[in-house]
Structure 1
């Protein structure tokens, strides 16, 4: 047997009225309660009933009191029926409990997961284990339809039934016929004269079905989306001088088969207004001649609401940087409808100048206060500056010690011109122990591990040890850096490392190098995003030529095979990216110069410049432009740049579509191995976007389309290497697709690169990937 959902809620009210009438007939006189007995309970404890009852033992009962008892117990929502009787001086309460919901069965749903639907029902009080309340049944259909309407399914049909079970329980069954998703068939604009309908509809996120609608959902109607589009339309007109633009009406209709939606918008453009005058009024704490340049409007220009708001915001920030933290800048337009002009007045109320009383640090249980305070650009006792507070927050975030940094500036109680700066940080573990295994096409199996402490003992100093091994490359490093060796922010670091490279596995060249380094470096901050570096290192090189490399043998004959060199390095780096992984804006630049000092066994120098910029095109697409230039040569007793210090090109991190380090000059004998060159020119233009599938991959996966170019050259004449000399016609080009994924087990990058001008002797490679390495 099943009970229909419809038409049952009124039974409760009939029962309540009947109970109230019945209660007035069970006795004819008041009496004093000697005991209270509750009958009919199954799951609910008597104590629960007594907690809700407005009477207790010893009270005198009258007709009004019993009516209150019935109302109170009905009001709990636990009972379908309540009766009050008298047994001598004992008050007897008869109740009929509402059944409990044993199960909720939902069928027919495909577009929305069952768990999501049950969560929506739980929000309105319908869930397994709860007391069943028939008054909620009507809300079931409304709630479920609301969820389906939000997904564009306006033809959904829902049927709910309730089936009694043993032990006073019920099963709720909900059958759903989803129907098809309603699509926007047409959006009509009426009243537009100055702009075409096509131009205006570009401001809308909603629209007719397109090729990308399967993931953009632009053809699925939503009331919230339409409201946002109407506001975009309003902003479009107000930014083009139509101050009195109005949306007269909006009509949304749906076809009888519930498949097509038609949206009609009636607008009144009004006239286009020009700026007749720009004024500053009020108290100006900053000279007027300094504020007027912040107003990016001119007399005779078309009025723009966004430019007006942005100008007011710039004035407010300028005042805030002078200590007027609570300044108000109000824009007052004076409209002249006769000649369609508007005079804009910026009324400035700077308020009182505000000083910073204290800077308070919170949440740094491990990191010392001084580590945070040395990053603060806002000082205690100084004027408040919004820019300095923001700059301080950014510097703290760039430390990498914290998951979150927030700064609040509450007013000091009892003072009208003082604020405190409260810095709250959420620390994250600053120590890292990482171990991994990966594979690279060029280097084979990779084993790597590293132990680092970025915030050693809360001092902000960095200590690290790392090693990486592969078939062609073995690397061990111990490093220490103190970012504040001096109070001015000059850093000092030490490094010990050893690297063995088998070029036969890496590039095919028949030689091996063992290189040990010991060095010290200093860093001098120039701005918040740039710094200069100076370093000195001792470098020991043991060179092992192979039997099949005439170039390597010739080098040993001329220079020997063991070298002790002392190398000076100077650098300039700038990093303004918004994040290290998958940046969306900013740039990363590095200019590095290396020179071995006179007296070294090998005397040479190298100059390298690398620049990569990120330009956000839309909310999803980012354009990346990369350039890489390098040049090296010998001096003194060394003829040319030692060839094992050459630059290389080709491969996943250079010019994709060619095998790694395979471009450029080759030996003229033996296996004709690539030798690299002392001059490098390479670059790339790449368009990135997250995948259309959304979800967790939005932050961990990037798809790209690229155009790479580059090569290396040997600029000195040699019979052992060919070709020599520089020619732009040697530049190789490729295009293709890429994917980068920060997977749970490591970084992965892959590409399909198609060479555009490969030569017969080139080693091309269409598919390339790296796993277990950063990219």
Structure 2
């Protein structure tokens, strides 16, 4: 090609208006730009691959113009020559001054602007009209994929002074095309209705079918086709194929007809199962992990489950990256298949580093001491999973992510990333009862004191009758072996007359030391010893109730005489915890058994035994739907004699039932035996508790309606049914009735169980920065005259 024609091509490409004569070569004496406004001369020259003094030909000049266009600064470039001077007359691309979106309902402004930004269309950048056109098309393609075939996207560019433009994107979304009909052709084994029931998409059900998903979406159809395929593959149709899918659009673009052509094939049976590769001597164990047996109908899901089980098995042995592949050997003549598992365990992986991130408050050591995967040890998938569970149980984190990162063929790093949540709790409770009116409680507790994982608690409870102050500190890791230690000191003053029970005051000082020992990962033993000083003063035995009189008579306490008791006790406990999370668990069980007994020689000799259980069972795999069964049992009594009389459980150690922790719908601690008087009015008296109690609860936990998915791990909604009661095995009903002189007709016998209360309702729990907020609406299903019911309660504090 002659240089003349080459130069013509250069000018055509560059848009030059004044061509210069072809030349063999030229030495550039100067480079000039005309039309620069926003772009500096230095920036323009940097985009050129030629400089003053360079000897260039036409080809090199054409490459220089291409480089200028590639800089994305210029909309047009005209090239001129004056002697040995090259003059570039440019028109800069306008700067985007504003972007306006109108008519977009399906896509949010943030989604569109983020997409534009990734394509360099943003305020302050240069406008590339070709990119803008491609964005228009991609947006329309998106709307078509969700069934809005009449959607249009138009871009309006408005010039502004100083070479600026305003970009307006106008959306005309239109309506989504409805699925008029779905036809499945070629199915013989299953009726069309059976297959259609598997789909998320459905035919238009008319205005009366409000819940029909009849809007066509390409992505949903693709997913539905995979569901049909999996259904057949799991039923033995290993040769099943979807041969063709036709989507026909109605002329008005408001409806679609979907036709799916399938080829089922035959049902295939498993002829044999074999293994290829080195099973490292674990042949028998691995065979037991296979969900298929000889003679079974072939199932793709069973094959996948077997692969996963084998992979986890090797993972527990430290082989971090085993290769498990399945090769079905299909015999079409006999409709049988030999399932061959190819296993390559690879090298055993070792952990180089454990990297922790996301903990801004909690110290690294708090997380590391919960890790059961050790640095320098071989990688174990079970140890990783146990570590994740233990971190979740702490209750310090809203999310825990543990993953492995391969460093070399036999080395991995374990990356632990956590999202912290409020571990301090300000407990503030407000309740309103039909009988009790307004009630208030408050306390403060920090479960992760200064990020150390230690628990510091300070509680104050004040009402008309009760003053309670306590300070506690617990160190879960007193030693490196997870031996815990703690202490608690408390003060309580109870004015019984303000509670309409009797005219006495109970002042108690207490001190307790505790420790705990791990048995294994889920079981723990605890022991504590304590001292309590109890002072009963301001007694007026002339107006005391029957149950109190019984207690006072045992210890020979007379009118206007203070009673002081000094007691030393020991407490032992066993706990088992397999919950998946410390707060708002979705799977697992928590059990605790405790026993307390005062030491012989104490002024009061008694014992108490309690058992609590919580059991979560997931209904759905992700735990959005979960059941919770909860129960609590308690029994206490005295042992030994005092001046020839059997000792009993002190009335101030009684069990109480009622409130949002036991039986919702009833005021706290109001279910159970009531104060009874032989000579006074027995109407509307207060509950005084008993020496035995139980409470049961069943809950259905479900996703909170209208809640953004981002908050699902912090909010929980449930329906519940609660039941429970308390009674006093030492109460002599016959003896009381023989002495009773006033209002004795409707006295309930609380010496044995049988006075159960039942309630039902709904509860919403939100783990907020202040602590867990619990809102409860409950309706009693079984109650008795004089019960303090509580339809609504609101609490800030611990959850169960």
Q: TM-score, normalised by structure 1?
A: 0.86
**Deviation (angstroms), 1:291:** 3.1
Counterpart of 1:706 in structure 2 is 720
Instruction: Verify: 1:521 aligned to 2:547, yes or no.
Output: no
What is the distance in 2 between the residues matched to 1:524 and 1:399? Answer: 17
1:537 aligned to 519, 530, 541, which one? Answer: 530
Instruction: Verify: 1:725 aligned to 2:716, yes or no.
Output: no
Asked if structure 1 preserves the Cα contact closer than 8 Å seen for 2:384 and 2:402, the reply is no
Counterpart of 2:701 in structure 1 is 688
Correspondence list, 1:165-184, <5 A: 165-184=160-179
Counterpart of 2:599 in structure 1 is 597
**Deviation (angstroms), 1:314:** 2.7
**Deviation (angstroms), 1:152:** 4.8
What is the distance in 2 between the residues matched to 1:500 and 1:264? Answer: 78
Counterpart of 1:286 in structure 2 is 281
**Deviation (angstroms), 1:433:** 6.5
Asked if structure 2 preserves the Cα contact closer than 8 Å seen for 1:430 and 1:455, the reply is no
What is the distance in 1 between the residues matched to 2:652 and 2:309? Answer: 55
What is the distance in 2 between the residues matched to 1:545 and 1:146? Answer: 84
Structure 1, 126-135 or 27-36: larger mean CA deviation: 27-36
Deviations along 1:48-94, one digit per CA (max 9) or x if unpaired, are: 11011122111234433433333222232322221222334332221
Counterpart of 1:234 in structure 2 is 229
2:430 aligned to 413, 433, 439, which one? Answer: 439
1:464 aligned to 433, 456, 459, which one? Answer: 456
Instruction: Verify: 1:163 aligned to 2:189, yes or no.
Output: no
Structure 1, 540-549 or 514-523: larger mean CA deviation: 540-549
| Distance 1:470-1:244 versus aligned 2 partners, 3 A rule | farther
SS in 1 for 2:713: helix
Instruction: Verify: 1:550 aligned to 2:545, yes or no.
Output: yes
What is the distance in 1 between the residues matched to 2:309 and 2:237? Answer: 24
Asked if structure 2 preserves the Cα contact closer than 8 Å seen for 1:492 and 1:520, the reply is yes
Instruction: Verify: 1:628 aligned to 2:623, yes or no.
Output: no
SS in 2 for 1:528: coil
Deviations along 1:640-681, one digit per CA (max 9) or x if unpaired, are: 322222222222222222222222222223552112222212
Asked if structure 1 preserves the Cα contact closer than 8 Å seen for 2:655 and 2:693, the reply is yes
Asked if structure 2 preserves the Cα contact closer than 8 Å seen for 1:650 and 1:659, the reply is yes
What is the distance in 2 between the residues matched to 1:464 and 1:404? Answer: 24
| Distance 1:27-1:249 versus aligned 2 partners, 3 A rule | closer
Asked if structure 2 preserves the Cα contact closer than 8 Å seen for 1:360 and 1:421, the reply is no
**Deviation (angstroms), 1:317:** 3.5
| Distance 1:207-1:57 versus aligned 2 partners, 3 A rule | same
Structure 1, 331-340 or 45-54: larger mean CA deviation: 331-340
SS in 2 for 1:666: coil
**Deviation (angstroms), 1:583:** 1.5
What is the distance in 2 between the residues matched to 1:589 and 1:365? Answer: 32
| Distance 1:691-1:303 versus aligned 2 partners, 3 A rule | same
Asked if structure 2 preserves the Cα contact closer than 8 Å seen for 1:362 and 1:422, the reply is no
Instruction: Verify: 1:498 aligned to 2:523, yes or no.
Output: no
What is the distance in 2 between the residues matched to 1:374 and 1:773? Answer: 25
What is the distance in 1 between the residues matched to 2:461 and 2:263? Answer: 71
Deviations along 1:194-217, one digit per CA (max 9) or x if unpaired, are: 334444344433345799999999
Asked if structure 2 preserves the Cα contact closer than 8 Å seen for 1:34 and 1:89, the reply is yes
SS in 2 for 1:578: coil
Counterpart of 2:28 in structure 1 is 33
Counterpart of 1:575 in structure 2 is 577
SS in 2 for 1:224: helix
SS in 2 for 1:756: strand
Correspondence list, 1:193-204, <5 A: 193-204=188-199
Structure 1, 552-561 or 338-347: larger mean CA deviation: 552-561
What is the distance in 1 between the residues matched to 2:781 and 2:422? Answer: 46
Counterpart of 2:476 in structure 1 is 483
| Distance 1:404-1:577 versus aligned 2 partners, 3 A rule | closer
**Deviation (angstroms), 1:263:** 3.2
| Distance 1:16-1:473 versus aligned 2 partners, 3 A rule | farther
Deviations along 1:284-317, one digit per CA (max 9) or x if unpaired, are: 3225333332223332222222222322333343
Aligned alpha-carbon RMSD (Å):
3.8
**Deviation (angstroms), 1:486:** 4.9
What is the distance in 1 between the residues matched to 2:349 and 2:73? Answer: 60
Q: TM-score, normalised by structure 2?
A: 0.83
SS in 2 for 1:464: strand
What is the distance in 2 between the residues matched to 1:399 and 1:735? Answer: 31
1:769 aligned to 794, 797, 800, which one? Answer: 794
What is the distance in 2 between the residues matched to 1:18 and 1:368? Answer: 64
What is the distance in 1 between the residues matched to 2:578 and 2:567? Answer: 34
Counterpart of 1:675 in structure 2 is 688
Asked if structure 2 preserves the Cα contact closer than 8 Å seen for 1:327 and 1:351, the reply is yes
Asked if structure 2 preserves the Cα contact closer than 8 Å seen for 1:507 and 1:674, the reply is no
Question: Larger RCO: Structure 1 or Structure 2 (Cα < 8 Å, ≥ 6 residues apart)?
Answer: 2
What is the distance in 2 between the residues matched to 1:152 and 1:544? Answer: 80
Asked if structure 1 preserves the Cα contact closer than 8 Å seen for 2:536 and 2:564, the reply is yes
1:748 aligned to 761, 773, 777, which one? Answer: 773
What is the distance in 1 between the residues matched to 2:295 and 2:169? Answer: 65
Counterpart of 1:48 in structure 2 is 43
Deviations along 1:111-143, one digit per CA (max 9) or x if unpaired, are: 433343333322323222222222133223223
Structure 1, 538-547 or 372-381: larger mean CA deviation: 372-381
Deviations along 1:26-61, one digit per CA (max 9) or x if unpaired, are: 676754222222111111111111011122111234
Correspondence list, 1:399-410, <5 A: 406=402, 408=404, 410=406
| Distance 1:409-1:125 versus aligned 2 partners, 3 A rule | closer
Aligned length: 753
Instruction: Verify: 1:639 aligned to 2:647, yes or no.
Output: yes
**Deviation (angstroms), 1:624:** 1.2
**Deviation (angstroms), 1:545:** 6.7
**Deviation (angstroms), 1:692:** 2.9
Counterpart of 2:614 in structure 1 is 612
What is the distance in 1 between the residues matched to 2:327 and 2:495? Answer: 73
Deviations along 1:715-772, one digit per CA (max 9) or x if unpaired, are: 23242884223344x2222222222223444432222222223333333232222245
**Deviation (angstroms), 1:683:** 1.1
SS in 1 for 2:782: coil
